[in-house]
Structure 1
């Protein structure tokens, strides 16, 4: 296995330790008894898992001032010490890199954006390295170690291998990004699909906290989907899962960059919408913002483009609901700037296509800036730190 050098390692690499730590991260501070209940573990297992984490300073114990007096040991509260370590997270788009520096509780301390000079691997790596270095220097506290970095990229990303198999917006194929980034950043690096990383953050800190089954669907340059099933983020056997953007909803529809026709992304992705608006208006529409403006001006045919996009997204979400029966679907992404144009169409198509009780799925809208996606990359790095991903042998 390829070894990853770390200045420090998590003191207890056991499933119980990871489970207790993430429970305290999302729900803490908690008593040991409450942590055991939420994690589905015995109190003895929690006590055993907590001990080395307390000794190493990753957890701290506080007296519960509201606790009723009881015989025996007081029911103190245990929480994650966010000041124990820092992690970097970078979200890479086709045009820029968005970076954040978070504490161990994944609270953003610093955030920066840098434009990408071009989309070549070397240029992106240089920008990510410069951004990560700038965040570390600006943090300015030598007593707080930066223990890892996460990089979130769109497309087919194999997190376990650390390889970007295919990223359509960066035009990358089979890039060993984790290994390359570790070399230039000087940190252990976790590479993940951007929507899947965002899903980790939503599971730990956002609209997915406390849910065992939910989905995150993102609308923008692409149509992405992250899945949580039985409390675990689904990665798929080969790093691909939840590709709702490539569910075919119209066999006679436009050609998708994946080679198929009528995919949700080929109808509702920003490039597809802009191209279709150009066709129906005969105008030189440069980007999604101009397309939205034309729709708001009621230019003939433009609202119908967004209506079809909304229908495609709604049918894609219904497919997720029919297959997995999630408690909630969270819709986010930069495409939500046009949400007023297709919100009703998404809901109508979802209701029409969802089968039976699947239609009861709670659909929530959460506009999130790219800094939150970068936070998701940092969350993926924290996740790898407390439960390392296996890496292939070299």
Structure 2
């Protein structure tokens, strides 16, 4: 990315509006953003000259009876590529995406160790493999996004604490940049997925929404007034650590009764084993037993749904999102149907007033989509000014939402195999 293209608020506004809502005419950009037509033209020109934007054939007039038809601006999605990697305690999942965060190729790499040095070494190998899939990737991919669970200091590129990796104060951005030669942005994995939904998914057209993830942990990303909320310490939205179980059970965070200590994969499996009397029960077997009607195991999933529903209601009462997107990994989402009824019931009972009308959307996401979230954060870092909200989403309407669906990630990426 040319370093001067998004050096002004007008440039960032114009480009991100076309990226997330385009194709869109200059006249419409001016209307939605409040910029003058001259300012829009001036801001768009360098992007057109650098090959990031193109003018499509004129399709509409600026106004009834007006002069020549408007020529919509559109993104050239393969002008630049981005690499995104989701880091788990078991493996790395990586993708290369285009400018619209559409995954083009993906690969997995198991981890032999969770030490920072071992993970970074495996990361460098995975990135090299991904970029070698097409000569264009190596030529036009300069940025890497990393998504990690836990407490991540995005501004300083440091993983302050990741419970599943057992990392403390790891300068991941610097280590990864040295190993790959790319510009590296790191963020919490749930916040990364939230950015992808805000820019290219079910959050488009919504000023305030929440993303709740169900799986190994229970996470939440928040968007308020078009901004992803990180909070003063970068941990805003941690509904997994809202206490809903009184004094029990103990959570890995040191607290007690946390949602995550009840509904996370590991504690849920432990409870299912205790309820069934089968110490060898797997998560998949627990899900099968519950679907088959085992009342004790079904009660375990209902308790998890109750805990998540209470936490979601508390969050909805606090900031009143227009919608809550519920997603997660496997087996988290595979078990969703088992606690969906209880989750909805507990949410409706605890949500105050009109907060109970908040729309709940179930959106299963593969791990490749979490890696896509990491790439989306890298895209955002490149094309917006730090701290600036995504402009004009509420005024975009259904037309903008439809336009961005092409890049929503529904198409499966090409999978690299050994």
TM-score (structure 2 length as normaliser): 0.88
Counterpart position of 1:346 = 343
Counterpart position of 1:242 = 237
1:379 aligns with 2:376: yes
* In 1: Cα distance, 2:124 partner to 2:308 partner: 36
Whether contact under 8 Å (1:281, 1:300) holds in the other structure is no
**Paired residue for 2:266, among 251, 260, 271?**
271
1:29 aligns with 2:26: no
> 131-140 or 65-74: which moved more?
65-74
Displacement of 1:388 after TM fit?
6.0
Displacement of 1:277 after TM fit?
1.1
Whether contact under 8 Å (1:277, 1:302) holds in the other structure is yes
1:130 aligns with 2:121: no
Any gaps of 5 or more consecutive residues in structure 2? 388-418
1:88 aligns with 2:87: no
1:188 aligns with 2:210: no
- 1:213-228 equivalences in 2 (<5 Å): 213-228=208-223
Instruction: Indicate how the Cα distance of structure 1 residues 286 and 95 shifts in structure 2: closer, same or farther if over 3 A, else same.
Output: farther
Counterpart position of 1:61 = 55
Counterpart position of 1:3 = none
Any gaps of 5 or more consecutive residues in structure 1? 1-6
Residue deviations 1:193-217 (CA, integer Å, cap 9, x gap) = 0010001110111110111000000
Counterpart position of 2:321 = 326
* In 2: Cα distance, 1:220 partner to 1:94 partner: 13
Counterpart position of 2:412 = none
Displacement of 1:328 after TM fit?
0.5
Whether contact under 8 Å (1:100, 1:108) holds in the other structure is yes
After TM superposition, what 4+ stretches of structure 1 lie above 4 angstroms from structure 2?
A: 66-73
* In 2: Cα distance, 1:10 partner to 1:368 partner: 35
Whether contact under 8 Å (1:10, 1:385) holds in the other structure is no
1:296 aligns with 2:281: no
Displacement of 1:296 after TM fit?
2.1
Q: Which has the higher contact order (CA 8 A, sep 6+)?
A: 2
> 68-77 or 176-185: which moved more?
68-77
* In 2: Cα distance, 1:285 partner to 1:49 partner: 62
Whether contact under 8 Å (1:114, 1:127) holds in the other structure is yes
> 333-342 or 133-142: which moved more?
133-142
**Corresponding residue SS for 2:249:** coil
Displacement of 1:144 after TM fit?
4.3
* In 1: Cα distance, 2:276 partner to 2:189 partner: 33
**Corresponding residue SS for 1:88:** strand
Displacement of 1:237 after TM fit?
1.4
Instruction: Indicate how the Cα distance of structure 1 residues 103 and 55 shifts in structure 2: closer, same or farther if over 3 A, else same.
Output: same
Whether contact under 8 Å (1:84, 1:144) holds in the other structure is no
Displacement of 1:250 after TM fit?
1.9
- 1:70-219 equivalences in 2 (<5 Å): 71-72=66-67, 74-141=69-136, 144-219=139-214
Residue deviations 1:66-116 (CA, integer Å, cap 9, x gap) = 548965454111011111111100011111111000111211111111111
Residue deviations 1:37-63 (CA, integer Å, cap 9, x gap) = 333444333223212222222111112
* In 2: Cα distance, 1:122 partner to 1:388 partner: 32
